[in-house]
Chain A
Amino acid sequence: MIFNSIGFFIFFAVVLAVLYVLPAKFRWIWVLAGSIFFYAFARPGYVLVPLLITVLTYYTGIAIEQATSEKGKQKIFVAGVCFIIAILVFFKYANFFTSTFTDLFNLISGKQVSNSLLISLAAPLGISYITFQAIGYLIEIKREDEKAERHFGHFATYLLLFTKVIAGPVERAHRFLPQLKMPARLTYDNFVIGGQQMLWGLFKKIVVADRLAIYVGAVYNNYTHHSGSTLFFATVCYVFQIYADFSGYTDMALGFSKMMGYDLMQNFNRPLLGRSVTEFWRRWHISLSTWFADYFFNPIAVAKRDWGNWAVIYASFVTFTVLGFWHGANWTFIAFGFLQGLILAIEILTRKQRKNMRKKIPVWLNDGGGILFTVAYFGLSSIFFRANSVGEALTIIKKILHFNGPFFFESASLLMFMLAGIFYIVAHDVKKEFFDKRFSLAQNKYWVIRNGYYCLLIIIILVTGVFDGGEFIYFQF
C-alpha cells in the first residue's frame, strides 16, 4: 500500500474517521493497530521484524537507564545496538558481504565457486529507518539526555507510525513521544494544513517525478544506445525526479501525520538552492543528515579534534561513505558517498578563500554560481546513484563528456510535461527562497484564491498524474 494508491487513501480515510470519534486517551491504540495492519498488509510475516526491534529497543532503553554503573550502561547499550545492527545487516547486507567474499576468493584462488550463502529474503520495508530511530533513541538515553519511555504502546506507536515507517523522516523520540501524551490535536487547522501539504506532495510525486521517471528509465536502462546529449538531459531530469519523488513522499508523510495531529520533522528545505554542497546537505534529507551529524560525524570529529582540519575531513569521509553504503549494498552507493565526502573536504579546506572571493563578486553571481555548481555536482553523483554498477556510471559520464549524437525524446507531449514539471518545481522553490513574503497562491488571504489553487492542483493531479508510476525511490533504502 503506497501513499499514491487508492487503497491507501481508503485506509487513511477509515483511520482518520475513527480517530475523530475515539476518546483522545485511546487514539494511540488505533494508530498503532493501523500501523501494524499497514505494515503487515504487503507481507504479513515481515511485521515480526519491526516488532522485535521495538520490543528490544524498549527494554534496552529501560535497562540502560536502570544500570547503576557507567560500565554496566555501556555494556547494555553496546549489546542492544549490536543486536539491532545485526538484524539490519542480516536482511540488507548479508548478500553483499558473502558475494564480495566469494568474488575475492575466486579472484585469488582462480577457481569459480558460487556463493552458496545467498539469502533469498527481501529486506523488510523501512528496516533501516526503524533501525536509525531505535539506535538514536538508545544513544540519547545512554548520554542521559533523554529519559527511557515507560509506556510500551506509546513507544511502539513512535517507532511503527505508518506515515513514516517506510521511508522516514527519521523522527527523534523526544520530539515525537510528548505529542502522544498531549491533549487531542485533531483540529480543523491541522486537517487543512496537513491536507494541503499532502496534496503538494502527491503533485510532486505523480505529476512530476513519475513522468520524469518514464524518460529517465527509458534512457538509463538502455544507456549504451543513447548519445551523450540524451544522457546529459536524462541526468538533469533524474536530479529533479529524485528530488520530486523523495520530497513528494516526505510532504505526503508530513501531511498525513499532521491531519492526524502529529508533527513530524522537516526533511527538505529547498536543497537544490544550496549555495554549496555543504549547504545542500543541510537542506536534503535533513532528518537523516542531522542524525548522522549528531551520532556519527560529531563524535568522530570531536575524538580526533587534535588533527585540526583533518579531523573534520576524516569525519566527513567516514560519515558519507557509511551514508552511501546505507543506501544499499552496492559499490555505486559507496562511490556516491565518497564523492560527497570528497567535495565536503574540499569545501572545508577552501572555506576562507571562498569567503574572501565572495566579498569581491556580486551576491547574485556568487549565489547563482554556487547553486549551479551544487546542482551539477549532485547531478554527477546521482549518475552513480542511478547506475547499476560503477563501470556503467563511468561509461555514462564518458559519453556525457563527449556530448554528441542525436537527442532522443519519445514524444513532444512527454517532453513538454516534463519541462513544465521541472519548471514548476524550480519556480516554487525559487519563489519560496527569495520572495517568500510576496504574493502567494497557496497561502493567499482570500479563501477563493487559496482554495481555487488547491482545486486546480487536484485537477492537474487527476488529469495529468501518472497513476501506475509505482513505488517511491526511497522505499528500497
Chain B
Amino acid sequence: MTREEILQVISKVFADTLDEDNIVLSESSKADDVEGWDSLTHVQLVVAVEKQFKIRFTAKEIQSWKNVGELIDSINSKL
C-alpha cells in the first residue's frame, strides 16, 4: 500500500469511529485539528486502526506519534 492509500483507509476508520462524516486527514493532522479526537477517543481510534490493518502497535509506538504521518510510518513498518 502507498502512504496515500493508507491515509485514505485511516480517514475512513476515523470517520466511522468518531461518527463524523467530514473528516479530512493529512499527514500533518494532529489530535487538536480533528473534531472529536481527544484522549478519550484516542484509544478507540488506535484499536480500530489495528483491527483494520490486522497489526499490533507497541505502547511505545502509540505514545511516540506526533501526527498522522508518524502513525502511517508505524503502519507501513508492519505491513
Question: Among A159-167, A298-306, A322-330, A387-395, which stretch is in contact with chain B?
Answer: A298-306
Once the chains are docked, how many angstroms separate the CA of A309 from the CA of B44? 7
What chain A residues lie within 8 Å of B19 (beta carbons)?
352, 355
Once the chains are docked, how many angstroms separate the CA of A278 from the CA of B41? 11
How many residues of B are in contact with the other chain, CB < 8 A? 14
Given contacts A308-B47, A355-B19, contact A298 B64 (CB under 8 A): no
How many residues of A are in contact with the other chain, CB < 8 A? 23
Q: Which of B38, B42, B43, B47 is within 8 Å of A282, CB to CB?
A: B38
Indicate if B28 sits at the interface (CB-CB under 8 A).
no
**Considering only CB atoms, which chain B residue lies closest to A139 in the complex?**
B63
**Proximity bits, A284-314, B CB within 8 Å = 1, else 0:** 0000000001000111011101101101100
Q: Which of A145, A293, A299, A315 is within 8 Å of B64, CB to CB?
A: A145
Indicate if B62 sits at the interface (CB-CB under 8 A).
yes
Q: Which of B39, B44, B59 is within 8 Å of A303, CB to CB?
A: B59
Indicate if A344 sits at the interface (CB-CB under 8 A).
yes
Indicate if A438 sits at the interface (CB-CB under 8 A).
no
Given contacts A282-B38, A355-B19, contact A312 B43 (CB under 8 A): yes
Q: Which of B39, B40, B47, B64 is within 8 Å of A143, CB to CB?
A: B64
The answer on a CB contact under 8 Å between A312 and B46 is no
Once the chains are docked, how many angstroms separate the CA of A305 from the CA of B64? 17
Minimum C-beta distance from B61 to chain A (A)? 10
Minimum C-beta distance from B60 to chain A (A)? 8
**Considering only CB atoms, which chain B residue lies closest to A355 in the complex?**
B19
Indicate if A348 sits at the interface (CB-CB under 8 A).
yes
Q: Which of B38, B39, B46, B60 is within 8 Å of A305, CB to CB?
A: B46
The answer on a CB contact under 8 Å between A344 and B59 is no
Once the chains are docked, how many angstroms separate the CA of A315 from the CA of B60? 18
**Proximity bits, A259-288, B CB within 8 Å = 1, else 0:** 000000000000000000010001000000
Once the chains are docked, how many angstroms separate the CA of A145 from the CA of B38? 20
**Considering only CB atoms, which chain B residue lies closest to A298 in the complex?**
B39
What chain B residues lie within 8 Å of A143 (beta carbons)?
60, 63-64
**Considering only CB atoms, which chain A residue lies closest to B57 in the complex?**
A302
The answer on a CB contact under 8 Å between A299 and B40 is no
What chain B residues lie within 8 Å of A344 (beta carbons)?
40
Once the chains are docked, how many angstroms separate the CA of A43 from the CA of B52? 59
The answer on a CB contact under 8 Å between A311 and B43 is yes
**Considering only CB atoms, which chain B residue lies closest to A352 in the complex?**
B19
Q: Which of B38, B44, B63 is within 8 Å of A299, CB to CB?
A: B63
**Proximity bits, B58-74, A CB within 8 Å = 1, else 0:** 01101110000000000
The answer on a CB contact under 8 Å between A312 and B40 is yes
User: Which residue numbers of A lie inside 8 Å of B, CB to CB?
Assistant: 143, 145, 278, 282, 293, 297-299, 301-303, 305-306, 308-309, 311-312, 315-316, 344, 348, 352, 355
Shortest 8 CB-CB distances between A and B: which pairs? A293-B39, A301-B43, A305-B43, A305-B47, A302-B62, A302-B59, A312-B40, A312-B43
Show 10 A/B contacts (Cβ-Cβ < 8 Å), sorted by A: A143-B64, A297-B39, A298-B39, A303-B59, A305-B43, A305-B46, A305-B47, A312-B44, A315-B43, A352-B19
Q: A302-B46, A305-B47, A312-B40 are in contact. List 6 more A-B contacts (CB 8 A).
A: A143-B60, A145-B64, A298-B39, A298-B42, A316-B40, A348-B40
